[in-house]
Structure 1
Amino acid sequence: MNCFSGNIANLQQYNLQHNQLAQMCGSKDLFRDRYRILRILGRGGFGITFLAQDAMLPGNPLCVIKQLCPKVASAKTWQNACQRFEKEAKTLAKLGSHSQIPMLLNYFEGDGELYLIQEYVRGCTLSREVKQGGTKTEAEVKQFLRELLLILQYLYQNQVIHRDIKPQNLVRCADDGRIVLIDFGAVKEQLADICINSVHQAQTNFVGTMGFAPPEQFSLRPVYGSDIYALGMTCIYLLTGKSPVELENDGQTGEISWRNHVNVSNSFARIISKMVKMSLDERFQKPQDVIKALNVETELPNLSNCLTSKPLNTRYETKVETSESYVSSVARTAIAIREWKAKLKQRPEARG
């Protein structure tokens, strides 16, 4: 990659009228003699995303061009930006081997701007899916959660924090129905760290989305639990159809109030509520922690339903208590489960 091209982008003065790719939309001209720009997919604080065709490959397959425009003021900071960009691009290339993360096809620098070329996933975002088809059931959200937790576990194993999980960044692939996680915020955050913005540095350097990002992310200290928080908020959106900013907060605890907007089982609600705890100490720390909680929540009802729900007769109870006869381990497990469920029903939170 070139160290410095001399044409430094400034997003405060940046507009589509002076953007080369925006001007090429719909034309027959090729960007870098290879990419035919079709249209703009999105625009944010760090750049613009375009839908394009790769004219050099058979069939002219679709791809996504992400044009990142870091605010830099010297050749030294630009060189630093290029180095960090290249490092993060290589991480994205490694992650792209997962079937639910877009493949990185190319990356390069040109005229003071940075470009990522990624696989285009044909499909619909979960945000649009809810707006068009309505909210999801508890069973559907559980299935979604299990699928996404496996992706987060993969990121965790590769020491990557996504930083911007939300319904708009989750695409259901039209070809096979799998959920694909797009638009990693790690590249943006690395570039933001070295960009100069003397007046609104903290505000500009924040990477994430209001409502879906937890408190520590606003302090520019995201952790693996930050993605768990965002995933929990996404589950709440799928269940309620409401974004976090539309929901109220508990006046005493400050936690998001969502239970009165949807009818879900208490056990599943406790899992979601722990995912979106404001305090990191009270929140699930790793994807595997949530997976274990979901497995326990699923297995206990199945086990208890296999056992008789009729009360034990007095004679049998007496034998158990006095150990006058042998009681099998299955029978002891049945007794323990019934006692546990009886105690659970007496707890205030179980009635909530």
Structure 2
Amino acid sequence: MNKISPQIKYFHESILQQTRLSQMCGTQELFCDRYEIVRILGRGGFGITYLAKNAVLPGQPWCVIKQLSPKVTNTSIWEKAYQRFEKEAQTLAKLGSHPQIPMLLDYFEVNGTFYLVQEYIHGYNLAYDVKRNGLKNEAEVKQFLKEILPVLEYLHENQIVHRDIKPQNLLRCKYDQRFVLIDFGAVKEELADVCENSLDSDATCTFVGTIGFAPPEQFSLRSVYGSDIYALGMTCLYLLTGKGPLEFAYDHNTDEVCWQKEVKVSNSFAKILGKMLKISLKERFQTIDEVKRALDLEEYVPSLTQCLTIQSPKVNNKTKAQEPSSQKYVPYIQRTAIAIREWKEKRQEKAAFNNLKQYLH
């Protein structure tokens, strides 16, 4: 009788575990003696996401169970994958203290399959919002950016690249209207990296991200902070047009998306979107702080542009007559204060004009 190798047997147990969990949906059977599986929320290359209840806690709170299944049959490679999974899960646990990131409630392994249990966010994603309420205008998209950029900055400060920013992964919380960023690709890419660097010919390496929202560098599993900025730019285009990335035309020479004729935004905001969506990393915004500063400056562009075109008013005789007589005595301290105030005003005007010139060019 031929014996089944331990590696193949372990792999088959993992497949059976995935099937069994799906069969538990809508039943009274508890997973791990505490989770009641309600329904499937989504499927992906690395596993399945379930909506569940914790049946042993008061009130049976809702939660989300992410089932991650690295497709490897080599035991040593699986052990490396588990080490990566545990490390990334601990990182997610630390990040969960941020109000715009779901809290990690638990993580564990059962029969070769990894599980993350996270807080369930009651709300709806941006894709659903656009379909239900219609397209967003420029002001609404700017407000969206102001609300979501701080959480991305928080991630990047903790050396985390999200890797899968898109409308479906951005939830508007029902109770307090805050945006929440879900479905981190960090754990998935770490598992893919184990496969890529293994000698296991049966390992399946999977691109982590969403085609169209992910920039070119992400396809080689070399995501950078600018990768999230590109995906965020594509999300803005979706809010403005209702079109996914693959519905746009692309420039054959640069591979950049041709979106300018599809949206109605100011020239200054179009420059910001254009820089977020640059294919070249050198031409794209490098950090979230750069995007925030560009948005802050963009608010003052109309008034600063007007200042550049207005000539200084000429002083006429009437104005001179209204000025204090030169014979009137002004104390030394007062004259010094006036001079300092005028110097500061000129310095601020000069700095504003220089910033505007750099921005417009």
Normalised by the length of structure 1, the TM-score is: 0.84
Percent identity over the alignment is 56
Contact 1:101 1:181 in 2 (8 A): yes
Q: Does 1:211 align with 2:203?
A: no
Matches within 5 A, 1:115-154: 115-154=115-154
The residue that corresponds to 1:8 in the other structure is 11
Shift of the 343–75 alpha-carbon distance from structure 1 to 2, 3 Å rule, reads closer
Q: For each residue in 1:25-56, what CA deviation from the matched residue of structure 2 results, as whole angstroms up to 9, or x when unmatched?
A: 11111111100010000011100000000011
Residue 251 (structure 1) shift: 3.7
Say yes or no: does 1:222 pair with 2:200: no
Matched position secondary structure for 2:191 = helix
Supply the AA of the counterpart residue of 1:211. Answer: G
Q: Residue in 1 aligned with 2:330? A: none
Quote how far apart the aligned CAs of 1:72 are.
Answer: 1.0
CA separation of 1:277/1:343 partners in 2, compared to 1, >3 Å: closer, same or farther?
Answer: closer
3-state SS of 2:66 partner: strand
Q: Any conservation in 2 of the 1:193–1:205 contact (CA below 8 Å)?
A: no
Partner of 1:320: none
Contact 1:9 1:71 in 2 (8 A): no
How far did 1:299 drift? 3.0
SS at match of 2:256: coil
Would you say how many aligned residue pairs link Structure 1 and Structure 2? 329
Written as runs of structure 1 = structure 2, the 5 A alignment for 1:1-352 is 7-8=10-11, 19-195=19-195, 198=201, 204-301=205-302, 312-313=312-313, 328=342
TM-superposed CA distance for 1:253, in Å, is: 3.1
The more displaced of 112-121 and 188-197 is 188-197
Say if 1:232 and 1:338 are closer, same or farther in 2 by CA, change over 3 A: closer
Kindly indicate whether the alpha-carbon contact (under 8 Å) linking 2:135 and 2:240 is maintained by their aligned counterparts in 1: yes
Flag the 1:165–1:341 CA change in 2: closer, same or farther, 3 A: closer
Closer, same or farther: CA 122–333 of 1 in aligned 2, 3 Å: same
Instruction: Indicate if the aligned counterparts of 2:13 and 2:111 stay in contact, CA closer than 8 A.
Output: no
Tell me the SS of whatever aligns to 1:154.
Answer: helix
What TM-score, normalized to structure 2?
0.82
| Runs ≥4 residues deviating over 6 A | 307-310, 333-344
State whether residues 10 and 70 of structure 1, in contact with CA within 8 Å, keep that contact through their aligned partners in structure 2: no
* Residue identity matched to 2:11: I
In 1, are the aligned partners of 2:304 and 2:352 still within 8 Å (CA)?
no
Structure 1 residue identity aligned to 2:246: V
Change over 3 Å in CA distance of 1:272–1:28 after alignment to 2: same
| TM-aligned CA deviation for residue 302 of structure 1 | 5.0
Partners of 2:78 and 2:183 lie apart in 1 by: 23
Q: Distance in 2 between matches of 1:342 and 1:84?
A: 46
Larger radius of gyration: 2
String of CA shifts for 1:205-235, please: whole Å, max 9, x gaps.
3111000000100122111110011111111
| 1: CA distance, partners of 2:38 / 2:80 | 32
Q: Helix, strand or coil for the counterpart of 2:139?
A: helix
Deviation per CA, 1:107-146: give whole Å up to 9, x if none: 0000110100000001101011111111111111101111
Aligned 8 A contact 2:66 2:116 in 1: yes
Letter in 2 for 1:8: F
Structure 1 residue 339: Cα displacement: 8.6
Which residues of structure 2 form unaligned runs of 5+? 1-6, 317-338
Preserved contact between residue 275 and residue 283 of structure 1 (Cα < 8 Å)? yes
Please state how far the C-alpha of 1:303 moved relative to its aligned partner.
Answer: 5.9
Calculate the aligned-residue CA RMSD, in Å. 3.2
Taking a change above 3 Å as real, the CA distance of residues 176 and 339 of structure 1, as seen in their structure-2 partners, is closer
Cα offsets for 1:34-86 (capped at 9, x unmatched): 00010000011100000000011100000001111111112111111111100
- 8 A contact 2:185–2:208 mirrored in 1: yes
Native 8 Å contact 1:127 1:168 kept in 2 = yes
The separation in 2 between residues aligned to 1:256 and 1:9, in whole angstroms, is 43
Structure 1 residue 245: Cα displacement = 0.8
* Secondary structure, aligned partner of 1:277: coil
In structure 1, how many angstroms separate the alpha carbons of the residues matched to 2:152 and 2:95? 11
CA contact (8 A) 1:39 1:52 kept: yes
Does structure 2 conserve the Cα–Cα contact (< 8 Å) formed by 1:10 and 1:71?
A: no
> Which one-letter code corresponds to 1:208 in the other structure?
G
1:38 is paired with a residue whose SS is strand
Amino acid at match of 2:239: L
- SS of the aligned residue for 1:205 comes to coil
C-alpha distance in 2 between matches for 1:275 and 1:342: 19
Change (3 A) 1:107 1:200: closer
Give the aligned residue type for 2:272: I
Once the two structures are TM-superposed, the CA of residue 300 in structure 1 deviates from its matched residue by 3.7
The 1:335–1:179 alpha-carbon spacing in structure 2 relative to 1, beyond 3 Å, is: closer
Unpaired runs of at least 5, structure 1: 317-325
